[in-house]
Structure 1
Amino acid sequence: MIEDILSDFQTIIEDPGPFLQFITIWGGGAIVLMLTVWLVLPPLVRGLLRSLDRVFPGGFEWLQADLSSMIVRAAWLIIVIATIEIAASFALGYSSLARGSMAAAGQWVLESALENALPVLLIVVGGVIAMRVVTFSVPRLVEANIRARANVTLEEEIQKNIDTLSDVVVGTARTAIVLLTIFLALSQIGVDLAPLIVAAGAIAVGVGFAVQNLIRDVLGGIFITLENQYRIGDVVSIAGIAGLVEDINLRRTLLRDLDYKQHTIPNGTITTTTNYTKDMSRVNMNIGVAYKTDMEHAFAVLNRIGKELAEEEEWAPVFLEPIQALRIDNFGDSAIEIKVLGEVLPIRQWEVSGEYRLRVKKAFDEEGIEIPFPHRTLYMGDASPETIGVQGAIMEAQQSASRTAPPESNAADS
């Protein structure tokens, strides 16, 4: 066997003309065939499915893009496999081509391609169908499971959990299906997978230290997803960055901050997570009033504003508990600070806080309640106006003298 292969290669080296001629013709033909498949098959498939959809409305329209793309890729795979087998044939004893018998080699290539075409096509079709089944069924299974175990009643929160977990599970499953489809197709065309698996294991051991960060990120992503730490649409602070969660997968989390900058954070670097919008949110602020203010009056105004806001048609669906003035929280330098709290739907606390502050300012202006600001009052004891005038004159004279006095070094020199 080895002697035959060496003899074939020797023949090709000595007379490469037929070999190069055949490879050039077949390679060019393969490229032309792939372009033809890409241009011709999709319109034919879409036209057929549209015809079927007119007969059975709603049953085939969703398949148009997927099926046409699947058939094109399957045809390309078959053409590539046939081209590879042609090249491999020269190393497996098909010396008739090297000796000029192109007809015999062409017949073998055709028979081999036809032999593998149908199984490979079925494998690819099975893979695409499996991906469609996963994409269709997994979100529904996840939804049923989450709704059965949900400990919150807010539909928006439940939907966040469903979307986040579905995206992660579907993405992982689709990747596994693609890899399995490739392995099955390679096995069908006669590629021995055992050496590939052994080589992959050796490579994995060799690069294990290099990819340890990747492994850490994937493990972090698994725990983030399983523990439901945050979901797509939550506002969180992770790795020192605060923003809206745009996407999550097993490797990284995407955040969008208020400046609309997108941050990519590897999951393995996340040690502490602060979720501002999980299950419910709270309006939490201090309202400052002047020390001379009647506290009972201020509390009544603040509670009235919170109640009116929570009862309005536009804002009522947002509130879980109206905003209320609870207590005097602090004696500040220039204000008495009143603590106000209220509970609202997730991610709505900032919007409600802004509206509440606006109404507090308007109501305080109408009620004559002062919102203090830092200022200073100069207190000079019980001095009479005459004494204050003398003291002011003395201070002015001292300031004038300090501005006109010569520097100390010059006075010493003189």
Structure 2
Amino acid sequence: MFWSAALAADSTPRPTSLDEAQRTANDAAGWVEQNWSVWLSNGLRIILILLIAVAMRHLIRRAITKLIARMNRTAQAVDGTALGSLLVNAERRRQRSEAIGSVLRSVASFVIMGTAALTVLSVLKINLAPLLASAGVAGVAIGFGARNLVTDFLSGVFMILEDQYGVGDTIDAGVASGEVIEVGLRVTKLRGVDGEIWYVRNGEVKRIGNLSQGWATAGVDVQVRADEDLDRVREVITRTGEEMRKAEPWSERLWEPVEVLGLNAIYLDSVIIRVSVKTMPGKAVGVERELRWRIKRALDAEGIRIVGRPLDPDLETVIIADPAAAVAAPSALANPTSPQSQATTPIPPVTPGVPIGK
């Protein structure tokens, strides 16, 4: 019986390599037949997601570009008019709008394409948890490594959005001061008073003093003799300010009448009168120089003497010399009988044959 069972086992047909290949092909065909619909559906979904993302990105960037162009056209339309003098200049508005548009376009592209990429990964049944965790760790590492760059970029974005300063403004940034010639997201360029260009990182600016926004104040101190008629001086200065306000080009630069604020300081020989006027932004220095010039000529014409440094000879304080200053201090050497004087007396020469002390 054992031999018969063995012979029966040996007579069973064994699978060949051809049979295995055919079976594998059949299984693969069945697997493809079962999943082709899923692949087709996922592929169409991915293509649709990418098309929607690209279309949204194009439309949003185009809308932002048109908005920025409209802002620039509005700035150019009012430039050179009375309204334009109250607003920021066209170049400043153009650079500010272009910077804002660049930031908005970059943010829109990042958000749209990033969302599309995550959606495609979710369609492919890829677990996003490890990817997001790795991205978070990488973001923290990059943030620590490039924190200065990130700080400069964020500071530049907020400076532009808040319109803290712009091209043509004169600012004091703490680390440097001068006229703004270019505003960037990372660096601001300033032109100093001597012509030098300062490159100031936006993240290093802790405070900003803008001398060109809103309005400026021109202040002039007039120092006259203490015995002058102050009412007459006030009248002359007020009349001079009115004449200057009616003249060109000062009629546009002076926004209010010249005001005599009063006495800023009182001395024994002179008084200082404070004069102030509200001017166009950035024109205060020129107004101060012209106002000093006109006030000096007007006071000279009225015979009112201006006191400066050095003082006039008749106003200088007479210094009386102290008679005791030439008297020498008491000294022990002044007394010939004092031990100090005797010690400094030269020893007489010794005469041969004459005893010492004789």
Q: What TM-score, normalized to structure 2?
A: 0.59
What displacement does 1:180 show? 9.9
- Take 1:349 and 1:288, find their aligned partners in 2: how far apart are those partners? 20
Matched, 1:156 2:85: yes
1:220 aligns with 2:151: no
* Number of residues of Structure 1 aligned to a counterpart in Structure 2: 263
When residues 207 and 395 of structure 1 are mapped into structure 2, their CA distance, relative to the original with a 3 A threshold, is: same
Which residue matches 2:317? Answer: 377
**Offset at 1:173?**
4.6
Change over 3 Å in CA distance of 1:235–1:131 after alignment to 2: same
Give matches, 1:331-370, under 5 Å. Answer: 331-332=266-267, 334-370=269-305
Residue identity matched to 1:207: I
Deviation at 1:310, TM superposition (A): 0.3
Aligned residues of 1:157 and 1:278 also touching (Cα < 8 A): no
Q: Which residues of 2 match residues 121-132 of structure 1 at below 5 A?
A: none
SS at match of 2:257: strand
In 1, Cα distance between equivalents of 2:279 and 2:233: 23
Larger Rg: 2
Gaps spanning 5+ residues in structure 2: where?
Answer: 1-53, 115-127, 334-339, 346-358
Aligned to 1:245: 180
Tell me if the contact between 1:325 and 1:340 (Cα under 8 Å) persists in the aligned partners.
yes
* Distance across 1 between alignment mates of 2:86 and 2:167: 10
Q: Which one of 250, 255, 260 corresponds to residue 190 of structure 2?
A: 255
CA drift of 1:206 comes to 2.4
**Whole-Å separation in 2 of the counterparts to 1:343 and 1:299:** 18
- Change in Cα spacing, 1:182 to 1:291, as seen in structure 2 (3 Å) is same
Corresponding residue number in structure 2 for 1:301: 236
- Taking the aligned partners of 2:88 and 2:318, their CA distance within structure 1 comes to 60
Is 2:101 aligned against 1:170?
yes
Relative to structure 1, is the Cα distance of residues 374 and 327 closer, same or farther in structure 2, using a 3 angstrom cutoff? Answer: same
TM-score by length of 1: 0.52
Cα deviation digits, residues 55-83 of structure 1 (max 9, x gap): xxxxxxxxxxxxxxxxxxxxxxxxxxxxx
Q: Percent identity of the aligned residues? A: 26
CA distance in 1, matches of 2:296, 2:192: 29
Summarize the Cα distance change of 1:211–1:343 in structure 2 as closer, same or farther, 3 Å threshold: same
Match of 2:70 among 140, 145, 155: 140
Q: Residue type of the partner of 2:318?
A: L
Matched, 1:323 2:258: yes
Once residues 351 and 141 of structure 1 are traced to their aligned partners in structure 2, the CA distance between those partners, rounded to angstroms, is: 32
- CA RMSD for the aligned pairs? 4.4
Conserved 8 A contact 2:170-2:210:
yes
Residues 15-414 of structure 1: pairs in structure 2 closer than 5 A? 134-135=64-65, 137-141=67-71, 154-160=83-89, 162-173=93-104, 203-332=138-267, 334-372=269-307, 373-375=309-311, 376-378=316-318, 380=320, 398=326
Alpha-carbon separation, structure 2, partners of 1:340 and 1:221: 38
The whole-number CA distance in structure 2 between the counterparts of 1:239 and 1:313 is 35
Distance 1:259 1:141 in 2: 34
Amino acid at match of 1:378: V
